Amino acid sequence: MSAAAPAPGAAGTQGIDPRGPRFGAAITAVLLLVVVGLALSGQLVAAIAVHAALVAIFAWGAFAGIRRHPWGRLYARLVAPRLAPPTVREDPAAPTFAQLVGFLITGAGLVLQLLGVPGAVVVAASLAFVAAFLNAVFDYCLGCQLYVLLVRAGVIRPRAAA
Amino acid sequence: MDSPALLAIAALVLGATAIGFVVRARSGRVVVASDPSSTDARLAVPGAEVTLLQLSSPVCSACAVMRRVTEELVAGEPALARRELDVTEHPELASAHNVLSTPTTLLVDATGAVRGRIVGAARPEAVRDAVRSVREQLGAAA
Protein backbone atom coordinates (compact mmCIF):
# COMPACT_ATOMS: atom_id res chain seq x y z
CA MET A 1 0.00 0.00 0.00
CA SER A 2 1.36 3.38 -1.02
CA ALA A 3 2.04 5.85 1.75
CA ALA A 4 1.10 8.70 -0.62
CA ALA A 5 -2.55 7.58 -0.89
CA PRO A 6 -4.85 9.65 1.33
CA ALA A 7 -6.41 7.70 4.17
CA PRO A 8 -10.02 6.96 3.20
CA GLY A 9 -11.32 7.92 6.63
CA ALA A 10 -9.38 11.18 6.97
CA ALA A 11 -11.32 14.26 8.09
CA GLY A 12 -13.42 15.75 5.29
CA THR A 13 -12.84 12.85 2.92
CA GLN A 14 -15.69 10.64 4.14
CA GLY A 15 -17.67 9.36 1.19
CA ILE A 16 -17.30 10.20 -2.47
CA ASP A 17 -18.04 13.22 -4.66
CA PRO A 18 -21.60 12.47 -5.87
CA ARG A 19 -20.86 14.18 -9.20
CA GLY A 20 -18.39 11.38 -10.05
CA PRO A 21 -20.99 8.61 -10.55
CA ARG A 22 -23.26 11.04 -12.45
CA PHE A 23 -20.41 11.89 -14.81
CA GLY A 24 -19.79 8.16 -15.30
CA ALA A 25 -23.50 7.53 -15.89
CA ALA A 26 -23.47 10.13 -18.69
CA ILE A 27 -20.64 8.30 -20.50
CA THR A 28 -22.38 4.96 -19.96
CA ALA A 29 -25.69 6.37 -21.25
CA VAL A 30 -24.08 7.59 -24.49
CA LEU A 31 -22.38 4.22 -25.03
CA LEU A 32 -25.68 2.39 -24.42
CA LEU A 33 -27.28 4.55 -27.13
CA VAL A 34 -24.38 3.57 -29.42
CA VAL A 35 -25.27 -0.10 -28.74
CA VAL A 36 -28.94 0.51 -29.61
CA GLY A 37 -28.00 2.53 -32.71
CA LEU A 38 -25.54 -0.08 -34.01
CA ALA A 39 -27.89 -3.01 -33.37
CA LEU A 40 -30.80 -1.33 -35.17
CA SER A 41 -28.64 -0.34 -38.16
CA GLY A 42 -27.65 -3.93 -38.84
CA GLN A 43 -24.25 -3.75 -37.12
CA LEU A 44 -25.14 -6.48 -34.65
CA VAL A 45 -21.62 -7.78 -34.09
CA ALA A 46 -20.28 -4.31 -33.30
CA ALA A 47 -23.29 -3.67 -31.02
CA ILE A 48 -22.64 -6.90 -29.09
CA ALA A 49 -18.95 -6.00 -28.76
CA VAL A 50 -19.67 -2.53 -27.28
CA HIS A 51 -22.39 -4.03 -25.08
CA ALA A 52 -19.99 -6.72 -23.79
CA ALA A 53 -17.45 -4.01 -22.93
CA LEU A 54 -20.15 -2.16 -20.93
CA VAL A 55 -21.06 -5.38 -19.08
CA ALA A 56 -17.39 -5.69 -18.08
CA ILE A 57 -17.29 -2.04 -16.94
CA PHE A 58 -20.47 -2.49 -14.85
CA ALA A 59 -18.88 -5.60 -13.29
CA TRP A 60 -15.77 -3.57 -12.47
CA GLY A 61 -17.84 -0.92 -10.69
CA ALA A 62 -20.01 -3.46 -8.91
CA PHE A 63 -17.30 -5.81 -7.65
CA ALA A 64 -14.23 -3.56 -7.30
CA GLY A 65 -16.34 -0.68 -5.94
CA ILE A 66 -17.42 2.58 -7.53
CA ARG A 67 -14.18 4.26 -6.43
CA ARG A 68 -12.14 2.03 -8.75
CA HIS A 69 -14.56 2.41 -11.67
CA PRO A 70 -12.77 3.55 -14.84
CA TRP A 71 -15.14 6.51 -15.39
CA GLY A 72 -14.71 7.43 -11.73
CA ARG A 73 -10.94 7.57 -12.22
CA LEU A 74 -11.39 9.65 -15.35
CA TYR A 75 -13.58 12.04 -13.34
CA ALA A 76 -11.07 12.23 -10.48
CA ARG A 77 -8.17 12.89 -12.81
CA LEU A 78 -9.66 15.16 -15.50
CA VAL A 79 -12.89 16.72 -14.23
CA ALA A 80 -12.79 17.09 -10.44
CA PRO A 81 -9.62 19.27 -10.42
CA ARG A 82 -11.48 21.84 -12.59
CA LEU A 83 -14.53 21.99 -10.33
CA ALA A 84 -15.14 23.45 -6.89
CA PRO A 85 -14.83 20.87 -4.09
CA PRO A 86 -18.10 18.99 -3.49
CA THR A 87 -20.47 20.55 -0.97
CA VAL A 88 -21.83 17.13 0.00
CA ARG A 89 -20.36 13.67 -0.11
CA GLU A 90 -22.27 10.44 -0.49
CA ASP A 91 -21.92 6.89 0.68
CA PRO A 92 -20.37 4.83 -2.15
CA ALA A 93 -22.82 1.98 -1.37
CA ALA A 94 -25.63 3.45 -3.50
CA PRO A 95 -23.72 3.96 -6.77
CA THR A 96 -21.93 0.64 -6.27
CA PHE A 97 -25.29 -1.14 -5.91
CA ALA A 98 -26.53 0.67 -9.02
CA GLN A 99 -23.54 -0.73 -10.93
CA LEU A 100 -24.54 -4.22 -9.78
CA VAL A 101 -28.09 -3.70 -11.08
CA GLY A 102 -26.62 -2.40 -14.36
CA PHE A 103 -24.36 -5.44 -14.56
CA LEU A 104 -27.24 -7.89 -14.00
CA ILE A 105 -29.50 -6.24 -16.62
CA THR A 106 -26.87 -5.77 -19.34
CA GLY A 107 -25.32 -9.17 -18.51
CA ALA A 108 -28.70 -10.91 -18.88
CA GLY A 109 -29.16 -9.17 -22.24
CA LEU A 110 -25.75 -10.31 -23.45
CA VAL A 111 -26.25 -13.94 -22.37
CA LEU A 112 -29.75 -14.13 -23.89
CA GLN A 113 -28.51 -12.57 -27.16
CA LEU A 114 -25.64 -15.07 -27.38
CA LEU A 115 -28.15 -17.88 -26.70
CA GLY A 116 -30.05 -16.69 -29.76
CA VAL A 117 -32.81 -14.48 -28.34
CA PRO A 118 -33.22 -11.72 -30.95
CA GLY A 119 -33.28 -8.17 -29.66
CA ALA A 120 -32.07 -9.09 -26.15
CA VAL A 121 -29.13 -6.68 -26.31
CA VAL A 122 -31.32 -3.84 -27.61
CA VAL A 123 -33.88 -4.32 -24.80
CA ALA A 124 -31.22 -4.60 -22.07
CA ALA A 125 -29.25 -1.61 -23.38
CA SER A 126 -32.48 0.44 -23.57
CA LEU A 127 -33.43 -0.38 -19.95
CA ALA A 128 -29.91 0.39 -18.74
CA PHE A 129 -29.94 3.63 -20.77
CA VAL A 130 -33.07 4.86 -18.98
CA ALA A 131 -31.45 4.17 -15.59
CA ALA A 132 -28.13 5.78 -16.56
CA PHE A 133 -29.87 8.82 -18.10
CA LEU A 134 -32.01 9.37 -14.98
CA ASN A 135 -28.86 9.13 -12.88
CA ALA A 136 -26.84 11.54 -15.00
CA VAL A 137 -29.51 14.15 -15.78
CA PHE A 138 -31.96 13.95 -12.86
CA ASP A 139 -29.65 12.65 -10.10
CA TYR A 140 -32.14 9.81 -9.59
CA CYS A 141 -30.83 6.32 -8.83
CA LEU A 142 -33.37 3.95 -10.39
CA GLY A 143 -31.29 0.88 -9.50
CA CYS A 144 -31.23 1.94 -5.85
CA GLN A 145 -35.05 1.93 -5.75
CA LEU A 146 -34.97 -1.79 -6.57
CA TYR A 147 -33.29 -2.40 -3.21
CA VAL A 148 -36.53 -1.96 -1.21
CA LEU A 149 -38.42 -4.23 -3.58
CA LEU A 150 -35.72 -6.90 -3.23
CA VAL A 151 -35.91 -6.59 0.58
CA ARG A 152 -39.69 -6.99 0.45
CA ALA A 153 -39.38 -9.99 -1.85
CA GLY A 154 -36.99 -11.58 0.66
CA VAL A 155 -34.06 -11.59 -1.79
CA ILE A 156 -32.04 -9.26 0.47
CA ARG A 157 -32.22 -10.40 4.08
CA PRO A 158 -31.28 -8.69 7.35
CA ARG A 159 -27.63 -9.24 8.18
CA ALA A 160 -27.24 -10.65 11.68
CA ALA A 161 -30.86 -11.85 12.00
CA ALA A 162 -32.04 -15.48 11.99
CA MET B 1 -27.22 4.92 -39.23
CA ASP B 2 -30.67 4.57 -40.74
CA SER B 3 -33.97 5.90 -39.50
CA PRO B 4 -35.17 3.05 -37.21
CA ALA B 5 -31.97 3.47 -35.15
CA LEU B 6 -32.38 7.25 -34.95
CA LEU B 7 -36.06 6.91 -34.09
CA ALA B 8 -35.27 4.45 -31.29
CA ILE B 9 -32.58 6.74 -29.88
CA ALA B 10 -34.90 9.77 -30.01
CA ALA B 11 -37.70 7.76 -28.34
CA LEU B 12 -35.34 6.58 -25.58
CA VAL B 13 -34.06 10.09 -24.83
CA LEU B 14 -37.55 11.61 -24.84
CA GLY B 15 -39.02 8.74 -22.81
CA ALA B 16 -36.28 8.90 -20.18
CA THR B 17 -36.68 12.69 -19.97
CA ALA B 18 -40.42 12.31 -19.42
CA ILE B 19 -39.81 9.71 -16.69
CA GLY B 20 -37.31 12.07 -15.09
CA PHE B 21 -39.81 14.93 -14.89
CA VAL B 22 -42.47 12.62 -13.41
CA VAL B 23 -39.98 11.34 -10.82
CA ARG B 24 -38.91 14.88 -9.95
CA ALA B 25 -42.54 16.04 -9.56
CA ARG B 26 -43.38 13.13 -7.27
CA SER B 27 -40.28 13.36 -5.09
CA GLY B 28 -40.93 14.93 -1.72
CA ARG B 29 -44.68 14.64 -2.26
CA VAL B 30 -46.63 14.70 0.98
CA VAL B 31 -49.68 12.53 1.44
CA VAL B 32 -51.69 13.25 4.56
CA ALA B 33 -54.08 10.40 5.13
CA SER B 34 -54.99 8.62 8.31
CA ASP B 35 -54.63 4.90 8.35
CA PRO B 36 -55.93 3.89 11.79
CA SER B 37 -55.82 0.21 10.85
CA SER B 38 -52.03 0.34 10.96
CA THR B 39 -51.70 1.63 14.52
CA ASP B 40 -48.53 0.27 16.06
CA ALA B 41 -47.50 1.90 19.33
CA ARG B 42 -43.91 0.76 18.81
CA LEU B 43 -43.54 3.15 15.86
CA ALA B 44 -43.92 6.33 17.94
CA VAL B 45 -41.14 7.85 19.98
CA PRO B 46 -42.55 7.96 23.57
CA GLY B 47 -43.64 11.44 24.59
CA ALA B 48 -43.66 12.92 21.09
CA GLU B 49 -46.85 14.37 19.64
CA VAL B 50 -45.69 13.56 16.11
CA THR B 51 -42.87 11.18 15.20
CA LEU B 52 -41.15 11.41 11.83
CA LEU B 53 -40.28 7.77 11.14
CA GLN B 54 -37.82 7.67 8.25
CA LEU B 55 -37.45 4.32 6.51
CA SER B 56 -34.04 4.26 4.86
CA SER B 57 -31.79 1.83 3.07
CA PRO B 58 -28.02 1.57 2.82
CA VAL B 59 -28.14 2.39 -0.91
CA CYS B 60 -29.90 5.73 -0.70
CA SER B 61 -28.36 9.14 -1.24
CA ALA B 62 -31.63 11.03 -0.72
CA CYS B 63 -31.92 9.42 2.74
CA ALA B 64 -29.00 11.53 3.97
CA VAL B 65 -30.65 14.67 2.57
CA MET B 66 -33.94 13.87 4.33
CA ARG B 67 -32.04 13.03 7.54
CA ARG B 68 -30.53 16.54 7.62
CA VAL B 69 -33.88 18.21 6.88
CA THR B 70 -35.78 16.35 9.60
CA GLU B 71 -32.98 16.61 12.17
CA GLU B 72 -33.05 20.39 11.82
CA LEU B 73 -36.82 20.52 12.07
CA VAL B 74 -36.95 18.29 15.16
CA ALA B 75 -34.18 20.23 16.90
CA GLY B 76 -36.40 23.33 17.20
CA GLU B 77 -39.60 21.54 18.26
CA PRO B 78 -39.81 19.60 21.53
CA ALA B 79 -43.14 17.93 20.60
CA LEU B 80 -41.57 16.46 17.47
CA ALA B 81 -39.27 13.47 17.34
CA ARG B 82 -37.57 11.58 14.57
CA ARG B 83 -36.29 8.07 14.24
CA GLU B 84 -34.80 6.20 11.36
CA LEU B 85 -35.00 2.50 10.57
CA ASP B 86 -33.24 0.49 7.87
CA VAL B 87 -35.70 -1.47 5.71
CA THR B 88 -33.10 -4.24 5.48
CA GLU B 89 -33.56 -4.83 9.21
CA HIS B 90 -37.34 -4.25 9.13
CA PRO B 91 -38.72 -5.74 5.91
CA GLU B 92 -42.08 -6.25 7.68
CA LEU B 93 -42.45 -2.47 8.10
CA ALA B 94 -41.75 -1.91 4.41
CA SER B 95 -44.43 -4.45 3.52
CA ALA B 96 -46.98 -3.34 6.14
CA HIS B 97 -46.78 0.29 5.02
CA ASN B 98 -46.37 -0.45 1.33
CA VAL B 99 -43.01 1.27 1.09
CA LEU B 100 -41.77 1.16 -2.50
CA SER B 101 -38.76 3.43 -2.27
CA THR B 102 -36.46 5.04 0.27
CA PRO B 103 -36.57 7.40 1.98
CA THR B 104 -40.23 7.09 2.93
CA THR B 105 -41.04 9.11 6.02
CA LEU B 106 -44.16 8.14 7.97
CA LEU B 107 -45.81 10.77 10.18
CA VAL B 108 -46.85 8.87 13.26
CA ASP B 109 -49.02 10.22 16.08
CA ALA B 110 -48.53 9.47 19.80
CA THR B 111 -50.68 6.32 19.62
CA GLY B 112 -48.60 4.92 16.77
CA ALA B 113 -51.17 5.58 14.04
CA VAL B 114 -49.76 6.59 10.67
CA ARG B 115 -51.22 10.00 9.74
CA GLY B 116 -49.30 10.73 6.58
CA ARG B 117 -46.23 9.98 4.56
CA ILE B 118 -43.55 11.77 2.57
CA VAL B 119 -41.94 9.84 -0.26
CA GLY B 120 -38.45 10.93 -1.19
CA ALA B 121 -36.44 13.84 0.14
CA ALA B 122 -38.60 16.91 0.75
CA ARG B 123 -37.89 20.58 1.27
CA PRO B 124 -37.97 21.74 4.92
CA GLU B 125 -41.14 23.82 4.29
CA ALA B 126 -42.92 20.79 2.83
CA VAL B 127 -42.09 18.71 5.92
CA ARG B 128 -43.19 21.56 8.20
CA ASP B 129 -46.50 21.85 6.30
CA ALA B 130 -47.01 18.09 6.56
CA VAL B 131 -46.49 18.19 10.32
CA ARG B 132 -48.91 21.11 10.58
CA SER B 133 -51.59 19.19 8.63
CA VAL B 134 -51.17 16.18 10.89
CA ARG B 135 -51.53 18.39 13.96
CA GLU B 136 -54.72 19.94 12.54
CA GLN B 137 -56.02 16.44 11.93
CA LEU B 138 -55.18 15.48 15.52
CA GLY B 139 -56.77 18.68 16.82
CA ALA B 140 -59.97 18.04 14.84
CA ALA B 141 -60.19 14.49 16.18
CA ALA B 142 -59.70 15.57 19.80
Residue B18 included in any domain: no
**What pLDDT, on a 0 to 100 scale, did the predictor assign at position B36?**
64
List residues bridging with B82 in a β-sheet. B52
The distance of A3 to chain B (nearest Cα, Å) reads 30
Neighboring chain B residues of A126 at a CB cutoff of 8 Å: 8, 12
Q: Which residue type does B33 have? A: A
Residue B129 included in any domain: yes
Across residues B64-83, what is the average pLDDT?
A: 92
**What pLDDT, on a 0 to 100 scale, did the predictor assign at position B140?**
74
* pLDDT tens-place string over residues B87-121: 999 999 998 888 988 999 999 999 899 999 999 98
Residue B34 included in any domain: yes
Percent of chain A with pLDDT over 90: 63
Residue B68 included in any domain: yes
Q: Under DSSP, is residue A62 helix (H, G, I), strand (E, B) or coil? A: helix
Contact B74, B43 (CB under 8 A): no
> Is A4's pLDDT higher than 90?
no
Residue spans per domain, chain A: 19-82+89-152
Residue B11 included in any domain: no
* pLDDT tens-place string over residues A26-57: 999 999 999 999 999 999 999 999 999 999 99
B6: left (phi over 0), alpha (psi -120 to 50) or beta: alpha
Contacts 24+ apart (CB under 8 A), B37-44: B38/B96, B38/B97, B38/B113, B38/B114, B39/B111, B39/B112, B39/B113, B39/B114, B40/B96, B40/B112, B41/B111, B41/B112, B42/B112, B43/B106, B43/B108, B43/B112, B43/B114, B44/B108, B44/B109, B44/B110, B44/B111, B44/B112
Identify the weakest region by mean pLDDT among A12-21, A77-86, B80-89.
A12-21
Q: What is the ipTM of this complex?
A: 0.81
Nearest to B60 by CA among A76, A90, A120: A90
**What pLDDT, on a 0 to 100 scale, did the predictor assign at position A11?**
36
For residue B88, give its domain range. 28-141
When CB atoms are compared, the residue of A33, A130, A137 closest to B9 is: A33
Residue B119 included in any domain: yes
Residue B3 included in any domain: no
CATH at B44:
3.40.30.10
Neighboring chain A residues of B15 at a CB cutoff of 8 Å: 130
Residue B79 included in any domain: yes
Number of domains observed in the structure of chain B:
1
When CB atoms are compared, the residue of A36, A39, A134 closest to B16 is: A134
